[in-house]
C-alpha cells in the first residue's frame, strides 16, 4: 500500500500540476462593499508565486499580511476592506523578478443594497424537494460533454455514467414543482466535479469557485436562483466541508502538507459517530472517525488548519452573496471538525441572520443526533447547528410500516422518538423525510404497498418539522441501493430528449403514479394553507395495538391524524381523545375533501386519515 505522504510530496513537485501553469488565480476573485466579514484571506495560486512582492492600492482596502507557505506556488494575502470602500476594481500588484503584473479583485454592491430577496431561510411552513441535477432533466444538450473535462461519459443506459441533466432542465420544470406545492429546492452539489468517473452525484469538488459546466456553469445557476425566487421557491445549496475530490487543485498541488489529514497508510473513517461524544472514547477512535477519509477519491480536509478554515468559510459566504442562496444543507456533519463547523455556522448567521443551516446526521439514536445540533444538554461542547436531517424519525416511520407493534417496536419507535423532542432547542426546524439519494426508495422499502406509502406521506406532511421529498417520490418510483446507489438515482421520465413517457404530465403517468401524485399534491397544498400544520403545536397519544393518533393545532385550527399500523381494521372513537376533540362536531377528510359528523369510524390496516376538526 502506498504511503500517502509520499504521494502528496510528489504532488508538490509533479510536472503536470496546476503549479506549472503561468496564470495566477485569486480565490475568491471578488467581494462586496459593506459586508460584516471584511477581513479576508486571499489565496493566490500560480507558478512560483511566492517569489513575488505584493501590494494593493485601492481606497478603503489595506494589505495587512503576506503568508508564504511550504509550497511556493501559493501565497495568502490578508486584507481588510473598510466601510469606506466603494464598488470598483482593486488591482493586486504582483512583482516577480522585476516583472509586474496585476490581478483584478472586484468589489461589488451587495445584494441587500440592491434590494434582493435572498438568504430567507427555510422554516416549518416550507416543503423541500431534493433534486440530483444530472438525473432530473436535460434542458441544454450543448453542455452534456465539456471538452477537457476528465469524465466524457454520457450514457443513460448505465447508472454509473453522466446522463446530461442540468440546471436549465430544472428551470424548465419550476411550474411543475410550484403546482405540486414545493416551496424550496435542495440540489445535490452543483460545484465543479472534474473527476474521472462517478461525477453524477457532485460530492467530490475540484474547484469551489466554479459551478460545474455540465450543469450550465455560473450563468445557469444565477438564472435558476432568480427564476425560482420569482415563483416563491427558495434555493438550498449542498455544502461539503469535510472532503474534496482527489483532483481538486489544492490536492493536486497542495499549499502545505497538512492541508489534508495525513496518515502513514490510507485510513478510512470508521463511521462510528459515537466516538465524537463518547466520554469513554479513545483518542485514536475519535481521530479515525473525524480525520479518516471517506474514500481514496475524497481526501479529508484538515479544518483545524486556519488557512483551510478561512478558505471554506469565505467560500460559504461568497456563495450566498454571489448566487442568492436561502439555506444550506451540510453534508456528513459528524465527520467535520465540530469547532470549525461552529465557527463557519456563526460566520454565516452573523452575515445573514435569517439563513437556515441543517446538517446530514446519519446516525442512530436521538442523543447521537441531538449532540450535533442546538440542544438543551448541559455539556462542554455546544453546537450552533440549527437543525438535523432527522434520521431518527425516519427510522421510526420505517419501523411503523415494517415491524410488528410492541412495547419498543413498530410505531412505538416513532412515538418514542418524538417524545424525546425535549432535547432540541427547536424541533420544528428538523428536516423530516422518507428517503434521499443514498437510500432505498421508500415505495420500494415498504414493498410497493400503496396503503403503507400513502400513510407514510400523510405522516411526512403532518408531523412537526419541515417535510422533504426526493425527486420522483411523488410518483410510484422504485429503487434499491443494492447492488449500487445508482438505482435510486434514475432519470425522471420526461426530463430527457427522446423519453417515451413524460411523467411531468398526467398523460405519461400510470394509475399508481397519479394516485400518489394527487396524494402528495393534496397534502402539500393543504399544508401551505394550514397554520396548524405549518406552525402549530403537537400532541401525541400513546399508541395502542398499532393505532397511533396525534394532533397539530393552534387556537384557530385543529388537525387530527390517525394511523393504523396493525394488520387488522381498528375502530376509532373521538371520545378517547376528548382533550383535543371536545367542542368539535364535525371532521373534514383533507384527502377526500368529505365532511362528516364527529362519530366513531373504522380505519383499515396500514391506512391513515387526516382530519380537520370543525364546530
- For residues 390 and 433, give the distance between their C-alpha atoms in angstroms, rounded to a whole number: 7
Strands 128-131 and 466-470, sheet pairing: parallel
- Would the CA dihedral through 104, 105, 111, 114 be positive or negative? negative
Is-contact 127 185, C-beta < 8 A?
Answer: no
> Whole-angstrom Cα distance, residue 384 to residue 395?
24
Cα–Cα distance between 152 and 98 in angstroms, integer? 42
Tell me which residue of 375, 267, 259, 348 sits closest to 306, measured CA to CA: 259
Report how far residue 320's alpha carbon sits from residue 92's, in angstroms, rounded to the nearest whole number. 24
Q: Which long-range contacts (CB under 8 A, 24 or more apart) does 568-573 make?
A: 568/605, 569/602, 569/603, 569/604, 569/605, 570/545, 570/546, 570/602, 570/603, 571/600, 571/601, 571/602, 571/603, 572/547, 572/600, 572/601, 572/602, 572/603, 573/600
β-pair partners for 236: 186, 327
331 is catalytic: yes
- Residues 69 and 41 sit within 8 Å (Cβ to Cβ): no
Closest to 608 in 3D by CA, of 380, 469, 382, 450:
450
The catalytically annotated residue of 151, 300, 360, 399 is 360
3-state DSSP assignment of residue 138: coil
360 is catalytic: yes
Are 568 and 528 in contact by the 8 Å Cβ rule? The answer is no
Catalytic residue among 331, 337, 390, 513, which?
331
Question: Which 3 state secondary structure label does DSSP give 609?
Answer: strand
Helices (H), 440-499: 442-445, 450-462
Point out the residues that are catalytic. 331, 360
Amino acid at each position: 500500500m502506498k504511503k500517502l505522504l509520499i504521494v502528496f510530496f510528489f504532488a508538490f513537485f509533479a510536472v503536470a500540476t496546476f503549479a506549472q501553469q503561468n496564470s495566477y488565480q485569486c480565490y475568491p476573485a471578488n467581494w462586496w462593499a459593506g459586508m460584516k466579514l471584511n477581513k479576508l484571506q486571499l489565496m493566490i495560486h500560480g507558478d512560483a508565486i511566492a517569489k513575488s512582492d505584493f501590494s494593493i492600492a485601492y481606497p478603503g482596502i489595506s494589505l495587512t499580511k503576506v503568508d508564504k507557505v511550504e509550497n511556493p506556488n501559493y501565497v495568502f494575502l490578508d486584507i481588510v476592506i473598510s466601510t469606506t470602500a466603494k464598488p470598483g476594481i482593486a488591482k493586486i500588484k504582483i512583482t516577480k523578478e522585476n516583472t509586474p503584473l496585476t490581478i483584478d479583485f472586484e468589489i461589488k454592491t451587495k445584494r441587500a443594497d440592491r434590494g434582493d430577496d435572498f438568504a430567507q431561510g427555510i422554516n416549518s411552513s416550507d416543503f423541500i424537494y431534493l433534486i440530483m441535477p444530472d438525473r432530473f432533466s436535460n434542458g441544454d444538450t450543448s453542455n452534456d460533454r465539456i471538452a477537457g473535462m476528465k469524465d466524457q461519459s454520457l450514457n443513460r443506459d448505465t447508472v454509473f455514467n453522466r446522463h446530461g441533466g442540468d440546471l436549465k432542465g430544472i428551470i424548465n420544470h419550476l411550474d411543475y414543482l410550484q403546482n405540486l406545492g414545493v416551496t424550496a429546492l435542495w440540489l445535490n452539489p452543483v460545484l465543479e466535479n472534474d473527476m474521472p468517473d462517478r461525477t453524477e452525484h457532485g460530492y467530490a469538488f475540484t474547484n469551489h469557485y466554479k459551478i460545474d459546466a455540465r450543469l450550465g456553469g455560473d450563468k445557469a445557476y444565477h438564472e435558476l436562483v432568480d427564476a425560482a425566487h420569482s415563483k416563491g421557491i427558495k434555493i438550498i445549496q449542498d455544502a461539503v466541508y469535510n472532503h474534496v475530490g482527489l483532483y481538486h487543485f489544492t490536492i493536486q498541488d497542495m499549499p502545505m502538507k497538512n492541508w489534508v489529514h495525513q496518515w502513514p497508510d490510507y485510513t478510512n473513517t470508521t463511521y462510528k459517530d459515537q466516538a465524537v461524544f463518547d466520554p469513554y472514547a479513545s483518542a485514536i477512535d475519535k481521530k479515525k472517525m473525524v480525520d479518516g477519509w471517506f474514500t481514496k477519491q475524497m481526501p479529508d480536509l484538515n479544518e483545524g488548519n486556519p488557512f483551510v478554515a478561512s478558505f471554506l468559510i469565505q467560500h460559504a459566504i461568497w456563495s450566498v452573496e454571489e448566487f442568492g442562496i436561502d439555506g444550506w444543507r451540510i453534508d456528513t456533519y459528524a465527520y467535520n471538525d465540530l469547532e470549525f463547523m461552529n465557527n463557519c455556522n456563526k460566520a454565516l448567521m452573523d452575515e445573514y441572520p435569517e439563513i437556515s443551516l441543517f446538517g446530514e446526521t446519519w446516525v442512530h439514536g436521538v442523543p447521537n443526533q441531538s449532540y450535533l445540533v442546538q440542544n438543551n444538554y448541559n455539556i462542554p461542547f455546544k453546537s450552533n447547528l440549527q437543525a438535523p436531517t432527522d434520521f431518527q424519525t425516519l427510522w421510526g416511520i420505517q419501523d411503523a410500516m415494517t415491524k410488528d407493534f410492541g412495547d419498543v417496536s413498530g410505531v412505538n419507535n416513532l412515538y418514542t422518538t418524538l417524545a424525546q423532542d425535549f432535547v432540541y432547542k427547536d424541533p420544528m426546524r428538523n428536516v423530516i423525510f422518507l428517503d434521499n439519494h443514498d437510500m432505498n426508495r421508500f415505495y420500494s422499502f415498504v414493498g410497493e404497498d400503496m396503503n403503507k406509502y400513502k400513510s407514510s406521506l400523510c405522516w411526512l406532511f403532518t408531523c412537526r418539522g419541515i417535510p422533504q421529498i426526493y425527486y420522483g417520490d411523488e410518483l410510484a418510483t422504485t429503487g434499491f441501493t443494492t447492488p449500487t446507489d445508482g438505482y435510486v438515482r434514475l432519470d425522471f421520465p420526461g426530463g430527457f430528449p427522446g423519453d417515451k413517457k413524460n411523467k411531468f404530465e398526467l398523460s405519461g403517468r400510470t394509475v399508481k403514479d397519479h394516485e400518489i401524485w394527487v396524494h402528495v399534491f393534496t397534502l402539500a397544498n393543504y399544508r401551505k394553507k394550514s397554520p396548524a400544520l405549518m406552525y402549530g403545536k403537537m400532541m401525541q397519544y400513546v399508541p395502542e395495538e398499532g393505532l397511533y393518533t396525534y394532533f397539530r393545532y393552534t387556537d384557530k385550527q385543529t388537525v387530527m391524524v390517525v394511523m393504523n399500523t396493525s394488520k387488522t381494521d381498528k375502530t376509532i372513537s373521538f371520545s378517547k381523545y376528548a382533550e383535543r376533540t371536545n367542542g368539535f362536531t364535525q371532521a373534514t377528510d383533507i384527502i377526500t375533501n368529505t365532511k362528516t359528523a364527529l362519530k366513531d369510524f373504522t380505519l383499515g390496516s396500514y391506512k391513515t386519515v387526516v382530519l380537520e376538526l370543525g364546530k
